[in-house]
Structures are given as C-alpha cells and as structure tokens.
Amino acid sequence: MDRALELALRGPVHGPNPRVGCVLLAPDGTRLGEGFHAGAGTPHAEAAAVAAAWSSGVDLRGSTAVVSLEPCAHTGRTGPCTRVLVEAGVGRVLHAVDDPNPVATGGAAQLRAAGLEVVGGVRRLEGEALLRTWLHALRSGRPFVTLKVATSLDGRVAAADGSSRWITSAEARADAHRRRAEVDAIVVGTGTALADDPALTARTTGGDLAAHQPLRVVVGMRDLPAAARLRGPGGELVQARTHDAGEVLAALGAREVRHVLVEGGPTLAAAFLGAGLVDEVHAYVAPVLLGAGPVAVGDLGVTTIGEALRLRTVSVQTVGPDVLLVAVPQRPAASTPDASDEPHGRPDATDLTVPPTGTGPMEES
C-alpha cells in the first residue's frame, strides 16, 4: 500500500478526479504490475496496472490488487475498474479509502458479489491525507478553500500609500505560484481586479506560464474592462455575479472544482472567514514593519477576545527570508461581515479613506 500511495502522488494535484495508485501482487508477493491515474480521461490506476502486467505477458489470475482508493463502479470516459479487475482474474483487493463519490461508489460490493475478497481501510489515514482536498469536496459538497494572505510582520498587505510590491521575497512569490498551479480556481473580488489589473496566472520560476492554469474567478457585480489582463493568457475567466461566498463555491462545485485558492483583499478574506468557508490558511509573513496601511483581513464582527477566530498551526517553514504559516480555523467567526457594499472584492478608491491597495505582495505586476 505504501507503494500504491507513492504511485498516486505521480498524478496531478488539480482536476476533478482523485490521485490513485495501484500495485498488483502474485500470491508470493512478487510485484506483477503497477499504475497510477494521470488525470481526467486517462486510464484509472487499476486499468493502467493491469495493462502494464499484460504487456509483460503476466497472468493475473489469483493475484492481489492493492489500491489507494476503492475501485470505482462507474462508466464515464473510462469503464469501471471493478470490471477490469474481475476480467483480469484478480482474486483479492485491498484498498485504503472508501470512495465517497455517489456516482462511482459501490465498487467493493460489486467485487464481493463477483467472488473476490475485499479488504478496506488499509493505511486509511495516509490515504485520506493524500486525498484530503478531493475527499473534502466530495463529502461536503463544496470545494476545499485555502485562503492565502501575504503580509508584513505587523499584518499589513500594503503601505499607507497603497504600494505593496514587494513586501515578501521572490522566493515566497515563487512558492505561491507553485501552489497556484496545484489548485483548480483562484478567487478575487472585483475591487481587486479593477484596482490591480492582475493576471492571476500560475508561472514557473522562469516566468513562463505553468502547464496547468486554474480558473480565474472574479466575484462581484461590476464588469471588467475589455483590456483587463484577466482576459489575456491564462485560465478561463469566470465572473461570479454575486455577493455570497456560498453561492460562489456552489457554482464552482457544479463545475467539479475541488480546490479553491482565495487571494482577494481584506473584504473577500473576511467574507469567506465570516461565513465559515475557509478550510486552511496560508500566511506568508515577511520580516518587514510598515506601521500603517491596510490589514490582511477585514471586519469579522469580533468585539472581544473571546470571540476571536482561532486557528491551529499545521506547519511553519521558512521561504527565503520569509515564513509560511499553514493553519486551520478551529471554529467559524462569530458573525458574518456586512454585505452591503461589494463584500467579496476590495472597495473602489472612492470607497476608501486610504489609497486602493492590492491583494498583497503576491499579486504579479
């Protein structure tokens, strides 16, 4: 199973389908074939492993299939993995995680009905850790949400004059671009889109577009200019004309988006946090002090320390001279911020008492 999980990691992090690995074993433990799922439309891990074994002339009758996810019982762009295993003569199947997808679940029952021995829950915790964003999306009915902020040591996303390039280092920005290439969608508000004119692309360390480009989602009612960089090269532009964070996630979930990266300004961050829709926070913190300027998160309705939204630290790592703190909220915020005026993007300059600011130092120029 450890090898199956290792193989699963070769599949893409993004996309609607899970990362799955499969190892086929002879009764004496000899490895007969292995495979992984390379993304939507490609053979599933079980089919890839069977094909690899057959290409070497291996007889799979009586073999054991060790799979990181319960074999699917669904016919989509590819046939059901249960049929592949049964027709190959596999006699025993071990899997780590039960498939929660209502369309594909039931594989274990089908295999047992066909006379195969099936054992589930092998290395379940490791399997669930590998599939955490995909499993969350399937189990909760909405995408997994990562909120990214990039601030000075005193929590500012820009100076008082609105300048923000660059608070964090080139290393931190490169790390953020790598993480962009692993998600299905990046979300900002119209305020950010209009004031900063971001491209919201995922780029390599050399500055080129990464192979995978997430959807670029702009939340709010206002239109974008025809010449906006968001209309240029990169992922598909999606305009979510709503002020409701839940509606945004519902629309993206309907598109089989599994992982969303929220990169908007303070008001957008507060809207998702206040609605209890943030699953993980990535906070890049630079050893810089500004003393004034906009903060990373807008009003959460917290009036006393007892109402604070507390988070549990998952990891802390240095990225160049900066620090990346990864944490998960422990409970929803006490109340949802006021949604009366463009709650999911930053306000226009006319709404501000200080000059408009960007989404933070991660925004590309």
Q: How many C-beta neighbours within 10 Å does residue 285 have? A: 22
The answer to whether 347 touches 287, Cβ cutoff 8 Å, is no
Looking at the annotation, which residues are catalytic? Answer: 46
**Angle at CA of residue 38, ends 32 and 43, nearest 5°:** 65
- My answer on whether omega of the bond before 134 falls inside 30° of 0, hence cis, is no
User: Would you call 99 helix, strand, or coil by DSSP?
Assistant: coil
User: CA-CA distance, 118 to 124, in Å (whole number)?
Assistant: 14
Residue 184: beta bridge partners? Answer: none
User: CA-CA distance, 20 to 12, in Å (whole number)?
Assistant: 10
- For residue 173, which amino acid is it? R
Q: Dihedral angle at the C-alpha atoms of 166, 290, 316, 147, nearest 10 degrees? A: -70
User: CA-CA distance, 42 to 220, in Å (whole number)?
Assistant: 36
User: Would you call 156 helix, strand, or coil by DSSP?
Assistant: strand
**If we measure between CA atoms, which residue out of 103, 90, 81 comes closest to residue 59?**
90
* Structural tokens at position 328: 């998960």
CA distances from 115 to 45, 82, 300 (A): 21, 12, 56
> Which class for 182: exposed (0-12), middle (13-18), buried (19 or more C-beta within 10 A)?
middle
The kind and range of the H/E element at 172 are helix 170-180
User: CA-CA distance, 343 to 337, in Å (whole number)?
Assistant: 8
> Which class for 102: exposed (0-12), middle (13-18), buried (19 or more C-beta within 10 A)?
exposed
CA atoms 224, 253, 72, 127: torsion sign: positive
**If we measure between CA atoms, which residue out of 46, 62, 50, 69 comes closest to residue 116?**
62
